[in-house]
Amino acid sequence: MSVLAQHGDLLLILACLFGFFMAWGVGANDVANAMGTSVGSRALTVKQAIMIAIVFEFAGAYLAGGEVTSTIRKGIIDPMLLAGTPELLVYGMMSALLAAGCWLLIASLMGWPVSTTHSIVGAIVGFAAVGIGVDAVNWGKVGKIVASWVVSPVLAGSLSYGLFKSVQKLILDTDDPFKNAKKYVPMYMFAVGFMISMVTISKGLKHLLKDSGITIGFMESIGWAIACGTVVALIGSYFLNRIKRDEVLEKQNRFANVERLFAVLMVCTACAMAFAHGSNDVANAVGPLAAIVGVLKTGAVGMKSTMPSWILLLGGLGIVIGLATYGFKVMATIGKKITELTPSRGFAAELGAATTVVIASGTGLPISTTHTLVGAVLGVGFARGIGALNMRVIGTIFMSWIVTLPAGAGLAIMFFFMFKGMFS
- Stretch 164-191: mean pLDDT, rounded? 91
Tell me, rounded to whole angstroms, the distance of Cα 256 from its chain centroid.
Answer: 31
Local structure of 76: helix, strand or coil: coil
Long-range CB contact pairs, 381-389, < 8 A, 24+: 381/338, 381/339, 381/345, 382/157, 382/161, 383/160, 383/161, 383/164, 383/165, 383/168, 383/348, 384/339, 388/339, 388/340, 389/338, 389/339
Phi/psi at 305 (nearest 5 deg)? Answer: -130, 120
Residue 362 confidence (pLDDT) above 80: no
User: Of the given ranges (114-128, 162-176, 197-211, 251-265), which has the lowest mean pLDDT?
Assistant: 197-211
DSSP 68: -
- Stretch 66-85: mean pLDDT, rounded? 64
* 411 contacts 103 by C-beta, under 8 angstroms: yes
**Cα(337)–Cα(240) distance, rounded to whole angstroms?**
30
The confidence band for 407, taking pLDDT boundaries of 50, 70 and 90, is: very high
The pLDDT of residue 142: 83
DSSP 183: H
Q: How far is CA 117 from CA 212, 237, 272, 372, in A?
A: 27, 38, 20, 13
Residue 68 confidence (pLDDT) above 80: no
The pLDDT of residue 267: 82
Phi/psi at 279 (nearest 5 deg)? Answer: -70, -30
Q: pTM for the full model?
A: 0.85
Residue 391 confidence (pLDDT) above 70: yes
Residue 304 confidence (pLDDT) above 70: no
Local structure of 85: helix, strand or coil: coil
The pLDDT of residue 378: 93
For residue 331, what are the contacts with CB-CB under 8 A and spacing of at least 6?
32, 33, 35, 36, 39, 40, 46, 49
* 330 contacts 113 by C-beta, under 8 angstroms: yes
* 115 contacts 109 by C-beta, under 8 angstroms: no
* 37 contacts 350 by C-beta, under 8 angstroms: yes
Query: In this structure, how many other beta carbons lie within 10 angstroms of the beta carbon of residue 243?
Result: 15
Residue 1 confidence (pLDDT) above 60: no
Residue 70 confidence (pLDDT) above 50: no
| Residues across the chain | 424
**Cα(280)–Cα(64) distance, rounded to whole angstroms?**
8
**Cα(190)–Cα(196) distance, rounded to whole angstroms?**
10
Q: How far is CA 224 from CA 182, 350, 377, in A?
A: 26, 21, 28
pLDDT digits (tens, 9 = 90+) for 347-360: 899 888 888 877 77
- Name the residue with higher pLDDT: 390 or 84: 390
* 374 contacts 153 by C-beta, under 8 angstroms: yes
Q: How far is CA 390 from CA 149, 386, 395, 401, in A?
A: 20, 9, 9, 17
Identify the helix (H) or strand (E) that includes residue 296. Answer: helix 283-298
Q: Which of 1-10, 50-59, 273-282, 393-402 has the highest mean pLDDT?
A: 393-402
* 379 contacts 160 by C-beta, under 8 angstroms: yes
The pLDDT of residue 72: 46
**Cα(375)–Cα(277) distance, rounded to whole angstroms?**
17
pLDDT digits (tens, 9 = 90+) for 141-152: 888 877 877 888
**Cα(226)–Cα(195) distance, rounded to whole angstroms?**
9
Tell me, rounded to whole angstroms, the distance of Cα 279 from its chain centroid.
Answer: 9
For residue 339, what are the contacts with CB-CB under 8 A and spacing of at least 6?
345, 377, 378, 380, 381, 384, 388, 389, 390
Residue 269 confidence (pLDDT) above 60: yes
* 64 contacts 303 by C-beta, under 8 angstroms: no
* 319 contacts 31 by C-beta, under 8 angstroms: yes
What mean pLDDT value characterizes the chain? 84
The pLDDT of residue 220: 85
